[in-house]
Amino acid sequence: MINRTHVHCTVNGDEVDFLATDSTSLLDALRTELGLTGVKEGCGTGDCGACSITVDGALNCACLMFAPEAEGREIGTVEGIAQGDHLHPLQETFLEGAALQCGICTPGFLVAAKVLLDENPTPTETEIRYALAGNLCRCTGYDKIIHAVQEAAVQLNGAKS
Amino acid sequence: MSLDPTSVAGGVGQSHIRRDADDKVTGAATYPGDRVPVDALHAVVVFTAQPHARLVSLDVAPAEAVDGVVTVVTAADVPVNEYGLTMFDQPVLIGLDDTGRSDVRCDVSRWEADHLAIVIAHTRAAAEEGAAALAVEWEPLPLVPDVESARRDLVLVHAETAPSNTYYEMAITKGDIEAGWAAADVVIEGRYELPHQEHAYLQVEAGTAWIDDEGRVTVETSGQWTHEDREQIAHALDLPEDRVRVIYATIGGAFGGKEDMSLQIVLALAARKLADLGISRPVHCRWSREESIVGHHKRHRATIEARLGATRDGRITAVEADVWLDAGAYNYTSNKVLGNAHLSVAGAYEVPNARIDSRAVYTHSVPGGAFRGFGGPQGAFVAETQMNKLAEVLGMDPIELRRRNMLREGSIGITQEPLPPGVGLPEVIEACAERAPTDGPRQPVPPFRSVASLPTGVDDPAIVRGRGFAAGMKNVGFSFGFPERCEAEIHFHGDAGDDRPTSVDVFHGGAEVGQGNHAAILQMTADIAGVDVDRVRGHFSDTAVSGDSGSASASRLTFMAGNSVLGAAEEAEKAWRDGARPAIGAFRYVPPPTETLDPETGAGQPNFSYGYMAQVVDVSVDTLTGHIRVDRVVSAHDVGRAINPELVKGQIEGAVVQAHGYVLSEHLVVDEGRIRNPRLSQYLIPGIGDVPTEVESVILELGDPIGPWGARGVAEMPYITYAPAVIAAVHDATGVWFDTFPLTPSRVLAGLRDGAADPL
The CATH number of the domain holding residue A71 is 3.10.20.30
Same domain, B466 and B576: no
pLDDT in tens, B390-448: 999 999 999 999 999 999 999 999 999 999 999 999 999 999 999 999 888 887 777 77
Residue B39 has pLDDT above 70, yes or no: yes
Same domain, B418 and B532: no
Residues in chain A: 161
Residue B545: alpha-carbon gap to chain centroid: 26
pLDDT in tens, A120-147: 999 999 999 999 999 999 999 999 999 9
CATH number for A151: 1.10.150.120
Judge: B30–A37 Cβ closer than 8 Å, yes or no: yes
Residues B189 and B306: their CA atoms lie apart, in Å, by 6
Residue B15 has pLDDT above 70, yes or no: yes
Residues A95 and B519: their CA atoms lie apart, in Å, by 13
Tell me, yes or no, whether B197 lies in a domain. Answer: no
* Predicted-complex ipTM score: 0.98
Same domain, A59 and A98: no
The boundaries of the domain holding residue A118 are 89-160
Same domain, B257 and B348: no
Same domain, B612 and B750: yes
In 3-state terms chain A splits into helix, strand, coil percentages (rounded to 5) of: 40, 20, 40
Sort residue B703 into left (φ over 0), alpha (ψ -120 to 50) or beta.
left
Q: What pLDDT score does A3 carry?
A: 84
Same domain, A67 and A93: no
pLDDT band at B1 (very low <50, low <70, confident <90, very high): very low
Distance, in angstroms, between B654 CA and closest chain A CA? 4
pTM: 0.97
* Chain A residues within 8 A of B255 when measuring between CB atoms: 138
Residues B688 and B679: their CA atoms lie apart, in Å, by 18
Residue B100 has pLDDT above 90, yes or no: no
Same domain, B349 and B238: no
Type of residue found at B221: T
Same domain, B346 and B462: yes
Same domain, A28 and A75: yes
Tell me, yes or no, whether B116 lies in a domain. Answer: yes
Nearest Cα residue to A119 out of A134, A131, A107, A108: A131
Taking a C-beta distance cutoff of 8 angstroms, is the pair B65, B305 a contact? Answer: no
Q: Which of A31, A106, A138 sits opposite B25 (nearest CB)?
A: A106
Residue B2 has pLDDT above 70, yes or no: no
Nearest CA in chain A to B694: A143
* Tens digits of pLDDT across chain A (161 residues): 568 999 999 999 999 999 999 999 999 999 999 999 999 999 999 999 999 999 999 999 999 999 999 999 999 999 999 998 999 999 999 999 999 999 999 999 999 999 999 999 999 999 999 999 999 999 999 999 999 999 999 999 998 76
pLDDT in tens, B533-580: 999 999 999 999 999 999 999 999 999 999 999 999 999 999 999 999
The predicted model gives B504-516 an average pLDDT of 98
Tell me, yes or no, whether B196 lies in a domain. Answer: no
Distance, in angstroms, between A84 CA and closest chain B CA? 10
Nearest CA in chain B to A135: B687
pLDDT band at B64 (very low <50, low <70, confident <90, very high): very high
Judge: A40–B21 Cβ closer than 8 Å, yes or no: no
Nearest CA in chain B to A102: B514
Nearest CA in chain B to A95: B21
Same domain, B243 and B392: no
Distance, in angstroms, between A47 CA and closest chain B CA? 6
Q: What pLDDT score does B759 carry?
A: 52
pLDDT in tens, B570-608: 999 999 999 999 999 999 999 999 999 999 999 999 999
Judge: A138–B36 Cβ closer than 8 Å, yes or no: no
Taking a C-beta distance cutoff of 8 angstroms, is the pair A140, B654 a contact? Answer: yes
Q: How far is CA B374 from CA A7, B380, B510, B715, in A?
A: 49, 11, 19, 11
Same domain, A16 and A52: yes
Tell me, yes or no, whether B395 lies in a domain. Answer: yes
Residue B3 has pLDDT above 50, yes or no: no
* Chain A residues within 8 A of B252 when measuring between CB atoms: 40, 102-104
CATH number for B284: 3.90.1170.50
Same domain, A75 and A16: yes
Q: Which of B201, B653, B689 sits opposite A141 (nearest CB)?
A: B653
Q: What pLDDT score does B510 carry?
A: 98
Same domain, B525 and B539: yes
Taking a C-beta distance cutoff of 8 angstroms, is the pair B540, B546 a contact? Answer: yes
Residues A54 and A76: their CA atoms lie apart, in Å, by 5
Q: How many CB atoms lie within 10 A of CB B211?
A: 18
Same domain, B368 and B473: yes
Percent of the residues in chain B that have a pLDDT greater than 90, as a whole number: 94
Nearest Cα residue to B691 out of A155, A147, A140, A74: A140
* Chain A residues within 8 A of B650 when measuring between CB atoms: 98, 101, 139-141, 144
Residue A56: alpha-carbon gap to chain centroid: 12
Same domain, B620 and B701: yes
Nearest CA in chain B to A126: B689
Q: What pLDDT score does B192 carry?
A: 98
DSSP B603-661: -S---S-EEEEEEEEEEEEETTT--EEEEEEEEEEE-SS-SSHHHHHHHHHHHHHHHHH
Last residue of a domain, one of B535, B558, B589: B589
Same domain, A145 and A105: yes
Q: Looking at the 3D structure of chain A, how many domains does it have?
A: 2
Q: Which of A31, A94, A139 sits opposite B25 (nearest CB)?
A: A94
Q: What pLDDT score does B756 carry?
A: 65
Taking a C-beta distance cutoff of 8 angstroms, is the pair B547, B488 a contact? Answer: yes
Q: What pLDDT score does B498 carry?
A: 95
Residue B99 has pLDDT above 80, yes or no: no
Tell me, yes or no, whether B182 lies in a domain. Answer: no
Residue B268 has pLDDT above 80, yes or no: yes
Q: What pLDDT score does B4 carry?
A: 46
Same domain, A103 and A57: no
Same domain, A103 and A59: no
Residues B484 and B436: their CA atoms lie apart, in Å, by 38
The boundaries of the domain holding residue B117 are 32-141+205-290
The predicted model gives B466-482 an average pLDDT of 97
Residues B315 and B296: their CA atoms lie apart, in Å, by 43
Last residue of a domain, one of A28, A45, A80: A80
Judge: B654–A101 Cβ closer than 8 Å, yes or no: yes
Which 261-290 residues of chain B touch chain A by CB within 8 A? 288-289
Last residue of a domain, one of B529, B563, B589: B589
Last residue of a domain, one of B555, B589, B623: B589
Mean pLDDT of chain B: 96
Distance, in angstroms, between B692 CA and closest chain A CA? 9
Last residue of a domain, one of A80, A99, A134: A80
Judge: B31–A106 Cβ closer than 8 Å, yes or no: no
Judge: A130–B689 Cβ closer than 8 Å, yes or no: yes
pLDDT band at B457 (very low <50, low <70, confident <90, very high): low
Which 200-259 residues of chain B touch chain A by CB within 8 A? 200-204, 250-253, 255
Q: What pLDDT score does B348 carry?
A: 98
Q: Which of A94, A138, A141 sits opposite B253 (nearest CB)?
A: A138
Give the residue from A143, A145, A147, A151 with the most B CB atoms within 10 Å of its CB, the best one to mutate: A143
Same domain, B135 and B263: yes
Judge: B252–A103 Cβ closer than 8 Å, yes or no: yes
Same domain, A100 and A42: no
Same domain, A117 and A93: yes
Q: What pLDDT score does B459 carry?
A: 72
CATH number for B389: 3.30.365.10
Judge: B289–A110 Cβ closer than 8 Å, yes or no: no
Residue B479 has pLDDT above 90, yes or no: yes
Tell me, yes or no, whether B424 lies in a domain. Answer: yes
Q: Looking at the 3D structure of chain B, how many domains does it have?
A: 3
* Chain B residues within 8 A of A139 when measuring between CB atoms: 253, 514-515, 650, 654
Judge: B687–A45 Cβ closer than 8 Å, yes or no: no
Residues A149 and A88: their CA atoms lie apart, in Å, by 12
Helices (H) and strands (E) in chain A, counts: 5, 5
In 3-state terms chain B splits into helix, strand, coil percentages (rounded to 5) of: 25, 25, 50
Q: What pLDDT score does B442 carry?
A: 80
Judge: A105–B202 Cβ closer than 8 Å, yes or no: yes
Residue B758 has pLDDT above 60, yes or no: no
Residues B47 and B109: their CA atoms lie apart, in Å, by 10
Same domain, B619 and B744: yes
Tell me, yes or no, whether B194 lies in a domain. Answer: no
- Reduced to 3 states, what is the DSSP secondary structure of residue B346? coil
Same domain, A73 and A94: no
Distance, in angstroms, between B368 CA and closest chain A CA? 20
* Chain A residues within 8 A of B36 when measuring between CB atoms: 32
Tell me, yes or no, whether B576 lies in a domain. Answer: yes
Same domain, A153 and A101: yes
